[in-house]
């Protein structure tokens, strides 16, 4: 396994660090201002700290939880210097994020032992970045010698099929589609049949973000899920929910609908570049308790990486 895949190397934090600059500024400029010139850790200081946290899109409950953990550590270690708080807060955040991360290796690295067709369904509301993320993930696995097939199962939105085709051409991956308005489950059924005979490693299914009604969308997605299982036993092994990180706390309610209907296996957060709301990652994770597999930090194919809690927290703190 490539060590860099695990994100263990802490320095240089580099790219991610640059991409998360707005979040970092919002969070740490205020933290630094809070502790500078203060000599003691007292309740008013902790209250101000809590306010900084929940106004950083982390969410009220999680901010409270972090402060509780922090207060306990301060007491246990008899800490008195405000300057020590940041390091402890970082550790609290890392352990919070690490606690619910499951082993996602089947989702994130090349499995050389399995020859079962791995099917991933990408779901999420419209505009969050499903199609772009599919292209990024395909590109990522192609670089790891996997053969990828893309399936255009958003047959509802105008130009959705063409958008996937353009990505397919750009990265050199086959795209299976039918005409607009076709039954998405039928598209998936045929695509998986083709994938089996073509020795494909991974199939990525692009789905609609919006239909006439939300319940229709869930029905359609469930049907796709069922049909995939009829073609490939155990498929889709992965139902990946794409969340736009800039929607902050609003994303949670959205995610719950998908999680309840479909049994989401993992989350990918997009658009972490150019937003100061990166702290939402912590709140979203804590609320949903669904592991985060990857994060996206731009519109390009390379703006995609495995989510590593420590690396992420290092990048949002100065």
Ligand X SMILES: Nc1nc2c(ncn2[C@@H]2O[C@H](COP(=O)(O)OP(=O)(O)OP(=O)(O)O)[C@@H](O)[C@H]2O)c(=O)[nH]1
Give residues in contact with Mg ion (CB under 5 A). 130-131
* Residue 273 interacts with which of Mg ion, ligand X, none, CB < 5 to 8 Å by class: ligand X
* Residue 28 interacts with which of Mg ion, ligand X, none, CB < 5 to 8 Å by class: none
- One residue of 7, 298, 310, 318 binding ligand X per CB under 6 A: 298
Nearer to Mg ion by Cβ, of 122 and 317: the residue is 122
CA–CA distance, 310 with 70 (Å, rounded to integer) = 17
Name the token pair of 111: 């499995």
For residue 301, the minimal CB distance to ligand X (Å) is: 11
Which of 24-35 are b and which e, b meaning 16 or more Cβ less than 10 Å from the residue's Cβ?
bebbbebbeebb
Closest by Cα among 10, 67, 78 to 34: 67
Window 193-232: residues binding ligand X (CB under 6 A): 209
CA–CA distance, 282 with 225 (Å, rounded to integer) = 29
Quick one: three-class SS letters along 1-45? Answer: CCHHHHCCCCCCCHHHHHHCHHHHHHHHHHHHHHHCCCCCCCHHH
For residue 164, the minimal CB distance to ligand X (Å) is: 9
Q: Counting contacts by CB under 6 A, is residue 305 touching ligand X?
A: no
Q: Counting contacts by CB under 6 A, is residue 127 touching ligand X?
A: yes
Window 266-285: residues binding ligand X (CB under 6 A): 270-271, 273-274
* Residue 270 interacts with which of ligand X, Mg ion, none, CB < 5 to 8 Å by class: ligand X
- One residue of 303, 305, 308, 316 binding ligand X per CB under 6 A: 303
> Under a CB-based contact definition with an 8 Å cutoff, are residues 66 and 53 in contact?
yes
Q: Parallel, antiparallel, or unpaired for β 266-270 and 148-153?
A: unpaired
Q: Counting contacts by CB under 6 A, is residue 160 touching ligand X?
A: yes
* Residue 238 interacts with which of ligand X, Mg ion, none, CB < 5 to 8 Å by class: none
For residue 160, the minimal CB distance to Mg ion (Å) is: 5
Q: Counting contacts by CB under 6 A, is residue 297 touching ligand X?
A: yes
Nearer to ligand X by Cβ, of 54 and 304: the residue is 304
For residue 17, the minimal CB distance to ligand X (Å) is: 16
Angle between helices 85-99 and 280-288 (to 10 degrees): 40
Name the token pair of 15: 């790219």
Nearer to Mg ion by Cβ, of 71 and 126: the residue is 126
- One residue of 24, 118, 130, 202 binding ligand X per CB under 6 A: 130
3-state secondary structure of 317: coil
Q: Counting contacts by CB under 6 A, is residue 299 touching ligand X?
A: yes
From 24-32, 81-89, 154-162, 195-203, give the range in contact with ligand X by CB under 6 A.
154-162
3-state secondary structure of 235: coil
Cis peptide before 303 (omega within 30 of 0): no
CA–CA distance, 193 with 238 (Å, rounded to integer) = 18
Q: Parallel, antiparallel, or unpaired for β 148-153 and 202-207?
A: parallel
The residues of the shown chain that bind ligand X, judged by CB under 6 A, are 124, 126-132, 154, 157, 160, 209, 270-271, 273-274, 296-299, 303
């Amino acid at each position: 396994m490539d060590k860099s895949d695990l994100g263990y190397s802490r320095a240089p934090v580099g790219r991610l660090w640059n991409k998360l600059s707005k979040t970092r500024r919002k969070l740490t400029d205020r933290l630094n201002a809070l502790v500078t010139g203060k000599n003691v850790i007292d309740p008013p200081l902790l209250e101000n700290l809590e306010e900084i946290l929940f106004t950083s899109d982390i969410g009220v409950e999680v901010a409270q939880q972090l402060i509780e953990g922090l207060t306990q550590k301060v007491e246990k270690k008899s800490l008195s210097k405000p300057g020590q708080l940041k390091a402890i807060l970082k550790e609290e955040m890392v352990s919070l994020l690490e606690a619910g991360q499951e082993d996602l290796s089947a989702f994130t690295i090349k499995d050389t032992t399995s020859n079962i067709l791995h099917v991933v369904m990408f779901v999420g509301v419209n505009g969050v970045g499903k199609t772009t993320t599919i292209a990024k993930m395909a590109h990522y696995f192609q670089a790891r010698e996997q053969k990828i097939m893309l399936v255009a199962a958003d047959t509802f939105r105008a130009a959705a099929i063409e958008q996937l085709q353009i990505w397919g051409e750009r990265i050199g991956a086959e795209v299976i589609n039918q005409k607009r308005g076709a039954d998405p489950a039928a598209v998936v059924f045929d695509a998986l049949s083709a994938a089996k005979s073509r020795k494909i490693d991974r199939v990525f299914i692009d789905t609609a973000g919006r239909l006439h009604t939300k319940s229709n969308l869930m029905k359609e997605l469930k049907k796709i899920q069922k049909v995939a299982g009829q073609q490939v036993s155990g498929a889709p092994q992965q139902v990946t929910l794409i969340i736009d990180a800039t929607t902050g706390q609003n994303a949670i309610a959205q995610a719950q609908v998908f999680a309840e209907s479909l049994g989401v296996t993992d989350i990918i957060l997009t658009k972490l570049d150019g937003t100061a709301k990166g702290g939402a990652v912590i709140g979203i994770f804590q609320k949903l308790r669904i592991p985060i597999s990857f994060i996206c930090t731009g519109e390009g194919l390379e703006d995609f990486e495995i989510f590593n809690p420590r690396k992420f927290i290092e990048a949002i703190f100065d």
